[in-house]
Structure 1
Amino acid sequence: MTNATPTAQLSEAGVSIWLDDLSRGRLSSGGLQRLIDEKNVVGVTTNPSIFQAAITSGTDYDRKIAELASQGTGAEETIFEITTADVADACDLFAPIAAATKGIDGRVSIEVDPRLAWDTAGTIAEAKRLYKEVDKENVHIKIPATLEGLAAITAVLAEGISVNVTLIFSLTRYRAVINAFQTGLELAKDNGHDLAGIHSVASFFVSRVDTEIDKRLEKIGTEQAAALKGKAGLANARLAYQIYEEEFTTERWKLLADAGALPQRPLWASTGVKDPSLPDTLYVTGLVAPGVVNTMPEKTLEATFDHAEVTGDTIAGTYEEAHGVLTALEDLGISYDEVVSVLESEGLDKFVASWSELLADVEAALADARNVPAH
């Protein structure tokens, strides 16, 4: 690698760095532009928890909330207006990167209402509404990879809308996501859309796998269990990359690629390290490969920029070892299928809870602005 900064080295190795955060303050202060200029950030992802934190801390949104309160706007519509405005402005900020990369990077993601995660028709309608409101070519609509979400992913892509598939934990589900993506592109082609203009990433969550499995390993308490701590997250993600390599070299994919389609890139999400005994850049330096995205919370981005050791591709040649980790966990009685099911359920519950808190906080703020009690 060169003597460039670690984030520049990551970019050279084929990793797109996206920030896992967005707020009005980041946009208005120039802070987000600085991360683009100085730390190789080429995209942004959001989720309900991020917006809940942004809107309920500080005063950046007070004026807009007061304005909407005076118009009699309800809490849900207020959140819709605030979040889509932030995303649209971020899309404008990243537009030069989107133009330079032909839409591969420079993307900004906004998630459908998490309460719709089990509602296929509701998700499709909300995705179209978000896409229309943001009205930027470099927006990604985030749809959770629930069983009900798979059909929605296909339907939204078929409309020519770019999709970020989120909350993927399971390798089996990941194959289903890729199938949903390719089916969506086949339908988009039939519908007359230019496949080169449809972009997608598949967000594979990493650190939460270790959090759940390491908790179980600690309960087992043996030397064999201790030796597996902090290894499952990387193993799971590396095996996902193996699936990516397999599924995007098939005859089915070749037909789509010949028609102008671009692969659905793997995106490493939840890359902030939760266990202080593990290196704070573990899920960055351990998941370097061509054609991936790593979406980092700012703390992880700063750690990466400061001291990450980027040594090139750290996924190639690891598949046998990764399979061995998952096999060893099963041998200890830790069910992979149960773990990923728990993680999906908990992830959705967390987003729904954040959304509910946000609704309550915005309703209170609107009521305060109108000087009437919140219900």
Structure 2
Amino acid sequence: MTLSRTLLRPALALAAVPSLAGCNLLVLNPPGDVAAQQGNLIVVATVLMLLVIVPVIALTLLFAWRYRASNRKATYTPDWDHSTQLELAIWGIPLLIIIALGAVTWISTHLLDPYRPLDRLSAGRPVPEDVQPLEVQVVSLDWKWLFVYPEYGVATVNEMAAPVDRPIRFRLTSSSTMNAFYVPALAGMIYTMPGMETQLNAVMNAPGEYEGFSSHYSGPGFSYMRFRFHGLSDEQFERWIAEAREGGEKLDRLEYLELEKPSEREPVRRFASVDSGLFEAVVNRCVDVDRLCMDQMMAIDAAGGYGLRGIDALAMPRRGDPRRGPFVSAGVCTVDTSPLLPSLPSASAGAASSIGGLQAP
């Protein structure tokens, strides 16, 4: 019984190998030019490394068989200790491969920089001078994706579309936690972070429907943080935009504050209009008009700050939800209690009372 099981497992494994021939390895054969170049880079790097790995494995098996204990014909040279030719092969070949890998990596890192504007649609097809990239503003929410098309004034949730053979310029940020935007058919993944903007340039070269998702764990709804990417012709894309304008809602700041609340399995939604400057407000963490934008705060700090009087404005709780708390730490609000400093004006005390009596440790 044990012998039959031992023979059965390898037989089943070998029987499953032919079924892999029908698999569509999208990462190595994607329809997007940027993803295709990245796939080629994986293949080139793998082949270069196999130039060392395959001979080492083959020689290991050969030596084990040739110098087995039962082989009395093998040459026995116990005093042998050096071979210049062997040393050159052992060190020279891997060194050449490392140099080749370094050159390929350096070149591809610059050519495939996600911030670098595209100079070609595919191999042998440069980007026409009269073609402007499609700008798509992406916000990763808990746990859904928001796509804003500023050129057309529409937005969608968990669905995006782009014309085939038109460069796409993504501007990406996050509402709360760090995430990773990834459409395997289009390009490599790019991270989204709150309070920061990242960029990605890509192009889709074949029509179809492709999957996009978050490739970085971000909480309990992470598994359902997926969306559909539609590669469309120019006419189909115009119809898609028209449908969004006809049947969608309005995405203003108040609607966004509702949308950013955590939710799972969010259905596809379309917005017929979007408040101008919404994406910049998300990046600067001030969609709520009662909050001070980060760029404004940095400009104030660069100019010397507002002093203690400025703390009162910063200590206001978020509009509509006082549980969200203020924007300054408790330590800022208890400067006047320090035994090393004289009593200060009421600004810091007012800030402390607005926070709810928080005390520094």
Report the TM range for the smaller structure's normalisation: under 0.3
Greater gyration radius: 2
What's the TM-score, normalizing by structure 1? 0.25
Question: Higher strand fraction: Structure 1 or Structure 2?
Answer: 2
**Structure with larger RCO (C-alpha < 8 A, sep 6+):** 1
Question: Higher helix fraction: Structure 1 or Structure 2?
Answer: 1
What's the TM-score, normalizing by structure 2? 0.26
